[in-house]
């Protein structure tokens, strides 16, 4: 599914600015959050989740959206979160899947972004300055994560995805 979208993505990137792309992605993500909230409230929509064809289509959609979003706006977390919440992935598997997915995806992006000048000696030094904050944030995350149940985790994930999507729409 992802490979089928590549030609249209090339056209999109060739003719649209990153600001326009970010806004379009933000709108798609906001619609996805709305659809997920509607699905959770409707017994009819909840029953249709077992259809394998729909699941494959959704996986392709969210996979493509995550890849494009992370490359164009470095904001793929919202799309990935929506997919994992929709699939009702337990918290621990959710966190592990997200970490590994974005680690591998960002590793793949390195050879693509260096020639664009997005990774420089100066940016690496600036990143080192943020390392202590990253460690503190990790401990705060562990502390918070251990005290949260699945329902609150999913609600928080949906709210944060909606906020990130709204940010993309507003700021581009």
For residue 83, the Cα-to-chain-centroid distance in whole angstroms is: 8
Count of CA atoms in the C-beta half-sphere (13 A) of 98: 19
pLDDT digits (tens, 9 = 90+) for 117-148: 888 899 899 989 999 999 999 899 888 888 88
Q: What values do phi and psi take at 117, rounded to 5?
A: 80, 15
For residue 6, the Cα-to-chain-centroid distance in whole angstroms is: 18
For residue 62, the Cα-to-chain-centroid distance in whole angstroms is: 8
* CA-closest candidate to residue 145, choices 93, 104, 106, 105: 93
pLDDT digits (tens, 9 = 90+) for 14-73: 777 878 888 888 888 898 888 888 888 876 655 555 566 667 777 777 777 787 777 766
The pTM for the full model equals: 0.71
Burial class of residue 16 in the structure, from the number of CB atoms within 10 Å of its CB (0-12 exposed, 13-18 middle, 19+ buried): middle
Q: In terms of pLDDT, which residue wins out, 3 or 159?
A: 159
């Amino acid at each position: 599914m992802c490979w089928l979208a590549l030609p249209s993505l090339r056209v999109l990137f060739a003719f649209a600015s990153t600001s326009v792309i970010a806004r379009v992605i933000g709108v798609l993500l906001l619609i996805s959050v709305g659809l997920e909230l509607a699905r959770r409230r409707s017994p009819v929509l909840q029953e249709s989740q077992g259809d394998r064809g729909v699941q494959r289509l959704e996986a392709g959609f969210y996979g493509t959206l995550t890849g494009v979003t992370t490359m164009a706006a470095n904001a793929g977390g919202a799309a990935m979160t929506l997919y994992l919440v929709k699939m009702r992935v337990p918290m621990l598997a959710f966190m592990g899947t997200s970490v590994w997915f974005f680690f591998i995806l960002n590793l793949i992006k390195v050879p693509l972004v260096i020639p664009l000048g997005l990774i420089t000696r100066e940016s690496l030094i600036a990143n080192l300055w943020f390392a202590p904050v990253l460690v503190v944030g990790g401990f705060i995350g562990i502390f918070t994560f251990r005290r949260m149940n699945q329902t609150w985790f999913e609600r928080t994930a949906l709210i944060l995805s909606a906020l990130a999507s709204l940010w993309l729409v507003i700021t581009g």
